[in-house]
Amino acid sequence: MSIAHILGFPRIGAQRELKFAQEAFWRGEISEAALRDIASDLRAQHWALQQQAGLDFVTVGDFSWYDQVLSTLNLFGALPTRYGFDREHTSLENYFTAARGNAQHVAMEMTKWFDTNYHYLVPEWTADTQFDLQKNNALLEEVQQAQQLGHQVKVSLLGPLSLLYLGKVKSGLSSPLELLHKLLPAYKTLLISLQEAGVEWVQIDEPILVLDLSAEWLRAFEPAYQLLSTNTPKLLLTTYFDAVAEHADLLHRLAVDGVHIDVVRAPQQLETLLKNWPQGRVLSLGVIDGRNIWRADLSSILALYQPVQSRLKTLQAPLWLAASCSLLHVPVDLDVETKLDPELRSWLAFAIQKLAEIVSLKHALDGNKQVAQEQFAIADAALQSRRTSKRIHIDSVQKRLAQTQASDAERNSPFAERIIAQQQRFQLPLFPTTTIGSFPQTKTIRQARAAYKRGELKHLEYLEAMRAEIAYVVAEQEKIGLDVLVHGEAERNDMVEYFGEQLWGYGFTQFGWVQSYGSRCVKPPFIYGDVCRPEAMTVAWSAYAQSLTQKTMKGMLTGPITMLQWSFVRDDQPRATTALQIALALRDEVADLQKAGIGMIQIDEPAFREGLPLKQKDWTAYLENAVHAFKLCSAVVKDETQIHTHMCYAEFNDILPWIAAMDADVISIETSRSAMELLEGFSDFAYPNQIGPGVYDIHSPRVAKVSEMQKLLQKARQLLPDQSIWVNPDCGLKTRDWPETIAALEHMVQAAALLRASC
Ligand code: GLN
Ligand code: ZN
């Protein structure tokens, strides 16, 4: 008999209950007890779903108040020492302070979880970092909650090596590995407590095994797991997002009771791992895509893994079936999507539907296919319909792409010449100030949009309301004294969805929320067919905004890679092809903006780095396509039109030549949380074009002081020529409130003015 399980379930709730409760708690509207009750109900609901679907375990430990890395740190009393919290009794308030910052404390740094759009908080390692299991062991409490509800529990826990690796050394250490000897006893204590609570299996996530790890890190695995494997529950070591075939020998030797691999992303690794598979060891196969929303081809999966099951049988090695990774990365329930076109809907499966897929495969593999007959029939029909639907293939789009030429992706002149034409046109001062695009998405804006969607606000009334918002944003920016203005993006619900809604080939859900960070969720559209732009998308808004001011108005678009990365992407053609289709659609928009007199156009690519394959050997192919896509959409403009791009919350130093190859005239990047560290690479590489290093963190309501911004700018000046430096926040301001936004931007404009005066 095979075992059906999952690595994790979305924690935020089908109706984003956790999000709303957290935010109410932060506003002081509900008590901690009320928040805890809501969280506890959600966990119970999610376990019930897993049990009802027929999984053999419910997974406990996937819940988190903000982020699983932060929660693991907290469990071990290892929040950054700079906060000075009581390590043994860290309160929920302490926890949220580390995540979000407050008037006294800067929040922890946040970065993307592998190649996903989920963000984790980066542990801060110092020589005095200590690890001790918290007195109130939150994980154990969750286990007990599930047990009291009568569930068979499997615990999910981030592994010690991944935890260390994902953190940053702040001081006093040459490698996070120096902390391993302190961390392991804490893990051991935790595992023993789980053993005593009757937990049979702990799923211990070591996703770093899919990265290009150094020998030093690889060497640490064997002794660490040797120590963790005695007198503790059985350990299922889980890997996901890519292959671990190169570590087959290590994995075979490792003192664990099972290994999980992702055979959706990396099916080819299976053969290597099966060679010399240890007798009796569990192999958990991630066969259902945890990163995408397409209904699985159950018949093909069954045919593929039946022989594997037979081979494992001869080794008395149990086969477990799961989704490739935690279902954190997909929406909760397709059944609530009643407004979705029935044909499109028949092609999809969300977290709850994926539970049924896993269980159906289990039944079929165990020889009970008749139990799963209906699921198999639905899957076969969906596949057939996707292969033949006329909504998927548009000949003109494919023809246009085939006919694009290399010269379509090149500007007319090199940057050195363009910048002269641009300087003449815009007459900007040294250290020009601007913002990244969005201004506060106020309650009024959201209410207007909701009323419009409900039909309570007529089309023209909605346009009127948004124009009023734009006029307000423009007037405020003039008052503040910014040099280059934006229209504020009031009309956009989300930077990807807004464009997707206006492009052919994109589908939408009503409730398809996926956690991005903390209480923030995104609702990624899905790309099911060839993409094209039937009509202009942003031109009227930008032109209106420009008409209100003598200053330069920057047009604002979302770039092709971000459109791809933050959508669920079709799996029936290469991602690279879809990226270029989107690029061509955006190219037409860029041309139309220029025609309407918009002189600066920003094409945001915050997800450019995120799309990078996890293994370096795959980088070139991805980057060549990503750069080409950017150039294809931007190179349509004249020399005197200035192309901006924006990227945030990621490391760029290892791909600087590629960022330079995008040839944007100006790039704005997030740098304030990392104290301009990112700029060092741009300086070493002698990045040729202009750069706007973010001078304050927009994730925190804290208003940075003029002196802090000045200090950051002085640091930037040591690294870059004065003529290259722009002054802007780290990212868009849509999550902030107006008072703090105005105060921060005033400080920013003052900092730039002081700097100019000092030159
Ligand atoms: N222009 C977008 C904004 O300001 C960019 C957002 C982002 O980088 N994620 O909101
Ligand atoms: Zn950004």
Asked if residue 17 belongs to a known ligand binding site, the reply is yes
**602 CA → ligand 1 middle, Å:** 10
Residue 437, ligand 1, Cβ within 6 A: yes
pLDDT band at 189 (very low <50, low <70, confident <90, very high): very high
Residues β-bridged to residue 204: 157, 237
Residues around ligand 2, an ion, CB closer than 5 A: 606, 648, 731
Overall average pLDDT of the 6-31 stretch: 97
List the residue whose alpha carbon is closest to atom 8 of ligand 1: 606
> Which is nearest to 257 in space by CA: 278, 227, 287, 286?
278
pLDDT at 201 over 80: yes
Nearest bound ligand to the CA of residue 441: 1
Cα 647 to averaged position of ligand 1 atoms, centre (Å): 9
Tens digits of per-residue pLDDT, 492-542? Answer: 988 999 999 999 999 999 999 999 999 999 999 999 999 999 999 999 999
- In a 3-state reduction of DSSP, which class is residue 282? strand
Cβ of 606 below 6 Å from ligand 1: yes
Q: Is the CB of 732 under 6 A from ligand 1?
A: yes
CA distance 517 to 507: 24
Residue 673 pLDDT exceeds 80: no
Instruction: Tell which phi-psi region holds residue 393, choosing left (phi > 0), alpha (psi between -120 and 50) or beta.
Output: beta
Q: Of 696, 561, 532, which Cα lies nearest the Cα of 628?
A: 561
Arithmetic mean of pLDDT over the chain: 96
Q: Which atom of ligand 1 is nearest to the CA of 437?
A: 4
* Whether the predicted interface score ipTM is above 0.90: yes
In the set 247, 363, 699, 747, the catalytic residue is 699
Does 5 participate in catalysis according to the annotation?
no
Determine contact, residues 282/204, Cβ cutoff 8 Å: no
pLDDT tens per residue, range 724-748? 999 999 999 999 999 999 999 999 9
Q: Is 484 in the pocket of ligand 1 (CB under 6 A)?
A: no
Q: Please tell me the distance from the alpha carbon of residue 2 to that of residue 203, in angstroms, as a whole number.
A: 17
Is residue 670 annotated as involved in ligand binding? yes
Looking at residue 564, its pLDDT comes to 96
pTM score? 0.91
Cα 610 to averaged position of ligand 2 atoms, centre (Å): 12
CA of 388 to the centre of ligand 1 (A): 37
Q: Which atom of ligand 1 is nearest to the CA of 606?
A: 8
Q: 604 labelled as ligand-binding?
A: yes
Predicted pLDDT at 287: 98
386 lines ligand 1 (CB under 6 A): no
Rounded distance between C-alpha atoms, residue 608 and residue 558, angstroms: 11
What CA–CA distance (Å, rounded) separates 451 from 467? Answer: 16
Q: Whose CA is nearest to atom 4 of ligand 1?
A: 732
Q: Is 453 known to sit in a ligand binding site? A: no
Ligand 2 centre and the CA of 436: distance in Å? 7
Question: Annotated binding residue at 357?
Answer: no
- What pLDDT sits at residue 735? 93
